[in-house]
Structure 1
Amino acid sequence: MNATARTTTRIVRGLAAAGLITALATGCQFGIGGENEEPAGSGTTAEQGEAPAGDGSGTDDEAPQASDGGGEAGSGGSGSSDTGTEDEVVDGSAAAAGVDLTNLGDPVATAEIPASVEGDPEATMTVQLFGLEKQGETVVATFAFTVNSEDGSDEQRQLYHYLGNTGWHPYAIDTVNLNKHGVLGGAKTGQTDYQGSRFKPGQTFYAYASFAAPPADVTTMDVMMVDGAPMATGVEIR
C-alpha cells in the first residue's frame, strides 16, 4: 500500500513538473512574441498612418516636399530632371482630377490673378475652367493652374502657397433658382487638395471640384474659379 502511494506521488509530481515546464515555456514564447509584435501596433505606427489625413498643419505641409523633392529640384540636387518632373506633375495631377489630356478641349473660361512667388512680386497665375460635367447627382468642374514667373524662385510649391497661404474655395451658382452650390464634402473630399501635390512656375496643375447638381431644367451655372478672378458666367452643363 505504501509502495503504491509512493509510486502515485512520484507520477503526480512528475506530471505537475512537466505541466509547469510546459506552462513556463509557453509563457516565455508568448512574451517574446509580444515584444516583437508590439512596434507594429504601437502608437508610433498609428500616428504615421493618421498623418496624411491632417488638417494642413506644418507637418502636412512639409510631408510632400520629402516625397517630391520640392526643395532639391530647383537647386541642382539629385532627383528627376525638369522635363521628367513636369511630366509627373501634369500627368499625376490630371489623373487625380479625372482629366483626359487627350480629350481636354479648350477652356470655357480663363482668368489671371496675382501669384505668391518668392523673389517675384509680379508673378501671376493663369486659371482655366474646362467646363461642367454632370455625373449622376453631382456636377464636376475641371480646372488648370499655371504660375507665370520669370524672375522668381522655381521651387515646387503647393497651390495653397501660390494663393498667398490661403485655401482654394470654388463654388457654382444656379442662377435660375438663385442657389449657391459649395464643394460637396468640403475641401478634403470634394475637390483636389490645395495642400497636396507641388508644382513650380511653368508647370500646369490640374484640379477638380464637385458640386450638387441643380434641377434637370437648369442647363448652365456660374462658376467662381478662384478668389480674385471674375465669375465665369453661363457655363454649360454637359
Structure 2
Amino acid sequence: MTSTMRSSGRALRAVAALGLVAALTAGCQFGLDDGGADADPAAGQEQGAEEEGDPGEADDTSDGGGEAAGESGESGESGESGESAGTVVDDEAQAAGVDLTDVGAPIASAEVPAAVKGDPEATMTVSLHGLTRQDETLVAVYSFRVEASETASTDPRWIYHYAADQGWHPYAVDTTNFNRHGVLSDSTGTIRSQTEYQGPKFRPGQTLYAYAMFAAPPEDVTTMDVLLIDGAPLATEVEIR
C-alpha cells in the first residue's frame, strides 16, 4: 500500500468519524457498546488489519519508519500539527474536530508492561488529559508514552504492538445510571471515533496523543469513570468539562 493510499484512507476515516458525531447530534442511531459481554465494536478494525497482513516486526521495518517520519513528523522534524520531535499527534483527530496540540497536564495515568524488543522490563504510561462534553458526545484525550532501556529497539510501533498485540478499547462508565459508554461506531463497527491502535506509530521516549469519542450521558451527570487501557484500573470520578 503506498503512502498516498494510506493518507487517503486515514482522511476518509476521519471524515467518517466527524459524520458519526454530526449524525448522532441529529438523532440518528449507531451501534454503541452498552457493556454487553458479546459486544466488540473493534472487531471490524482488527479484521481489517489481519487482511492487510501480519502486523509483526517486518511491518515496523518495511514501511513503519517512513510512515512515522514522513507523516507524523518524527525523526527530529516537526509535523504538520506542530508537534516536536518528542511527540506524535494523530492526524485524524483534527479532521474529526479534536485538537490534540494543547491538551494540558494529565488528570489520571496508569503504567502497564510494554512489548519492546530488547527490553522485557519496558513500560507504557497511558494518561487521560480530559473528558469534554460536545453536544451529544464526550471527547476523551489520551497520551501514550513508552519507556525502554537504551539498548532496546527504537523502531516505531503501533499501540497494538506495545500492548502485546492487543487492541485499545477505551470506554466510560456512567456510575449514576449504571451505563457503560463505548466508542461511537457505525452499525457495522468498522468505523470508530477514536485513534486507531494500528494507525500512528511512535518510538520509545516519544509521546503519542490520541482521542476517543463516546455518547454523552444525561446533563445531570457530571463525572464518569474512564478506562485508560486494558489491564489498568479505571480512572474514577473524572470531571466532565
TM-score normalized with structure 1 length = 0.67
How many residues end up aligned between the 2 structures?
Answer: 185
Mapped to 2, the partners of 1:65 and 1:211 lie a distance apart of: 34
Label 1:91 to 1:148 Cα distance change in 2 as closer, same or farther (>3 A).
Answer: closer
Max Rg structure: 1
Higher relative contact order (CA 8 A, sep 6+): 2
Mapped to 2, the partners of 1:206 and 1:218 lie a distance apart of: 26
- 1:232 is displaced (CA, Å) by 0.1
Identity %: 48
Q: Residue in 2 aligned with 1:31?
A: none
| Counterpart contact for 1:174–1:221, Cα < 8 Å | yes
Mapped to 2, the partners of 1:111 and 1:94 lie a distance apart of: 24
Letter matched to residue 142 of structure 2:
F
- 1:141 is displaced (CA, Å) by 0.3
Pairwise CA RMSD? 3.4
- 1:188 is displaced (CA, Å) by 3.9
Alignment of 1:6-25 (within 5 A): none
Mapped to 2, the partners of 1:192 and 1:156 lie a distance apart of: 16
| Counterpart contact for 2:136–2:216, Cα < 8 Å | yes
Write out per-residue CA displacement over residues 48-79 of structure 1, whole angstroms, 9 at most, x where no aligned residue.
79x958711263644995264269x7xxxxxx
Write out per-residue CA displacement over residues 12-67 of structure 1, whole angstroms, 9 at most, x where no aligned residue.
xxxxxxxxxxxxxxxxxxxxxxxxxxxxxxxxxxxx79x95871126364499526
Q: Residue in 2 aligned with 1:221?
A: 224
Q: Residue in 2 aligned with 1:133?
A: 132
Could you tell me which runs of 5 or more consecutive residues in structure 2 were left unpaired when the two chains were aligned. 14-46
Letter matched to residue 93 of structure 1:
D
Write out per-residue CA displacement over residues 84-135 of structure 1, whole angstroms, 9 at most, x where no aligned residue.
278368354277362343x422111011110000111000001110110001
Q: Residue in 2 aligned with 1:90?
A: 87
Mapped to 2, the partners of 1:65 and 1:137 lie a distance apart of: 41
Write out per-residue CA displacement over residues 134-176 of structure 1, whole angstroms, 9 at most, x where no aligned residue.
0110101000000000131000111110010010001100000
Mapped to 2, the partners of 1:234 and 1:178 lie a distance apart of: 13
Larger helix percent: 1
Alignment of 1:1-238 (within 5 A): 52=9, 55-57=48-50, 59=52, 61=55, 62=59, 66=63, 68-69=65-66, 82-84=75-77, 87=84, 90=87, 92-93=89-90, 96=93, 98-101=98-101, 103-150=102-149, 151-185=151-185, 186=189, 188-238=191-241
Write out per-residue CA displacement over residues 159-205 of structure 1, whole angstroms, 9 at most, x where no aligned residue.
11001001000110000000011111047421111101111101110
